[in-house]
Amino acid sequence: MELTERSLGIVILISGLGLYSILSDDVPALVILLSLAVFLFFRAVLFYHTITLVSGSVACERSVGKTIIRQGTPIPVRTAWSCTIPEECTVTFEDLIPAGAAIQNGTASANISGPGENATVSGSYSISPVVSGDIMFMGVRAIIRDHYFTSAIEFRLESFRRPALHIEPVAIFEHDEGSGRYGETETEKASPIHGYGIRSFRHYIEGDDPRTIDWKMTAKHGKIFVREYSGLAGEPPLLVVDLPDASSEYSTRSYDLMIGGMNDALRAAVRENRGCSLLIISGPNLLKFVPFEKSTVKARKTIDTLRGRRRLLSWYRTLDPGHIRVFLRNRENPGSHDQKSFSSGLAQIYQHFLPAAPRSRFEIQFKGVLNERKITGIYLFSLFNGDLSHIRSVILQGRSINARVILQVPSESAGPGMFEKISRLGASDVKVIR
């Protein structure tokens, strides 16, 4: 509870009268002093009653344009505040916006003047979140004033913080550009996962990518037609998300780019195929397999529940039997090569090692995933930190079923040296998520 200018003036007057009455021994001044003190005390008790009355009747109804949005997208917000206001009282309501969000336009506060029972006022504004994940409003602040006192009360119960917002991180799932790029560029919109040929044409539906419009068909028939590509017309693709180890350090920005790229890929797969398969791994640990998914919200919640786990199993430059077979297959006749060369010596070691080499559990599990559905395209999202033996295993098994394996690399991880290292893994293509 704070003093207003009027009550502050009364306090200064009381102090002056007290000093004067002490120095001059003036009884009337002392009487005036006591009268003003009693009056101010009475107003303080009355204001305390006002605070109790107002705070017990505050209600808030808040509505937003969407509860699931992309990071940085403006969200329109409309809030209605109501309370009971006594005479000579003014209440200013203010929305406490979520942490990590900024007001773009409008104002998040409004005033109500008394008296009135269940007096209501509303305000509208828009916020833009700069963070990702599930966030909520911080609550409501009510500033109560009368002529002599003012007090600010914050209401942070869940009823004052709703609704919850799900913010998806921004990243661009790139698949039309060639590989070999790294660094910062600007990309304004994600492209759908196109195939290699046009399967059919259909009428334009709101939300379709304008770049898929076929202008010749549109001009011929006088209606907007879009192209449907044949590359993903069959089975849905497999999205593989490689979560980092909880015990290792990694960039939060790179992680958000990776998850944002996965969200964009899932949307594109839904638009083209009405869904996709989702596999969540952490190194050579298979955490969860979802045979069919078309909701970015469910996919994000699944990933969030699995994030932050320590890897039970780690590989370091591990070669499974599949790698050995490929190495030997690439050598037409290992015995005919120079026996003193390193590759020839390695081939001889592999030939003796191969019959007793057991298949890893990760290879068996991933093979089961590939047998679950007919997979023609595998999109692997990873931070590419640490050892990449498990990624090499995914690529090899994908190629064994003639599926294209495309690695999705966050732009912060795609430096020249790292990009060259990733390119040697043998994937069909390497794309940068920006």
CATH number, residue 401: 3.40.50.410
- For residue 132, tell me if it sits in a domain: yes
Token output for 197: 């040929």
- Looking at the domain assignment, is residue 300 inside a domain? yes
Are residue 235 and residue 299 in the same domain, yes or no?
Answer: yes
What is the domain-level CATH number for residue 117?
2.60.40.10
What H or E segment, with its residue span, contains residue 384? Answer: none
Name which of 48-57, 221-230, 308-317 the model is least confident about. 221-230
Whole-model pTM: value is: 0.53
Please, are residues 406 and 431 in contact by the beta-carbon 8 Å criterion?
Answer: yes
Asked whether residue 37 falls in the same domain as residue 65, the answer is no
Whole-number pLDDT of residue 241:
93
Task: With cut-offs at 50, 70 and 90, classify the pLDDT of residue 185.
Answer: very low
Q: Is the peptide bond before 169 cis (omega within 30 degrees of 0)?
A: no
Are residues 288 and 375 both part of a single domain? yes
My answer on whether 313 and 413 are in the same domain is yes
Instruction: Kindly tell me if the per-residue pLDDT of 364 is higher than 60.
Output: yes
Please give the pLDDT value at position 184. Answer: 34
**292 domain-assigned:** yes
What is the model's pLDDT at position 176? 41
Which phi and psi angles does 251 have, rounded to 5°?
A: -80, 130
Report pLDDT for 17.
Answer: 84
Where is the domain boundary, 168, 196, 220?
168
Strand partners, 10: none
Q: Give domain status of residue 77, yes or no.
A: yes
Query: Is the same domain home to 105 and 236?
Result: no
Q: Would the pLDDT of 90 be above 60? A: yes
Task: Supply the range of the domain harboring residue 305.
Answer: 231-320+359-433
128 lies in the same domain as 252: no
Residue 137's nearest CA partner among 168, 173, 171, 100 is 100
Q: Which of 230-239, 306-315, 341-350, 369-378 is predicted least confidently?
A: 230-239
Within-domain flag for 214: no
User: What is the number of structural domains in the chain?
Assistant: 3
Would residue 191 count as lying in a domain?
no
Secondary structure of the chain: what % helix, strand, coil (to 5)? 35, 30, 35
Q: Rounded mean pLDDT of 118-138? A: 84
Answer yes or no: do 77 and 163 share one domain: yes
pLDDT of 191: 41
Whether residue 367 sits in one domain with residue 279: yes
Lowest mean pLDDT among 87-91, 138-142, 148-152, 345-349: 345-349
336 token code pair: 């005919």
Decide which of 149, 168, 187 is a domain's last residue.
168
The answer to whether residue 315 sits within a structural domain is yes
Q: Where is the domain boundary, 124, 145, 168?
A: 168
Residue 428 DSSP symbol: S
Residues 6 and 76 grouped into a single domain: no
CA dihedral 152, 154, 160, 163 (to 10 degrees): 110
Residues 408 and 268 in one domain: yes
- The more confident residue out of 350 and 80 is 80
Each residue's pLDDT tens digit, 194-253: 444 455 566 776 556 677 788 888 888 888 887 765 444 456 788 999 999 888 888 888
Distance CA 297, CA 291 (A): 16
Any domain includes 290: yes
Q: What is the mean pLDDT of the chain?
A: 78
Q: Quick check: 324 and 350 in contact, CB under 8 A? A: yes
Mean pLDDT for the stretch of residues 15-35:
83
* Pairing status of strand 75-85 against strand 101-106: unpaired
Quick one: average pLDDT of 150-175?
79
Return the beta strands (E) in 264-387 as ranges.
276-282, 285-293, 377-382
pLDDT level of residue 279 (50, 70, 90 thresholds): very high
C-alpha to C-alpha distance for 420 and 417, rounded to whole angstroms: 5
Question: Both 30 and 96 in a single domain?
Answer: no
User: Looking at residues 34-60, what average pLDDT do you find?
Assistant: 88
Q: 381 and 236: one domain?
A: yes
Categorize the per-residue pLDDT at 313 as very low, low, confident or very high, splitting at 50, 70 and 90: confident
> Is 60 exceeded by the pLDDT of residue 180?
no
Would you state the pLDDT for residue 329? 64
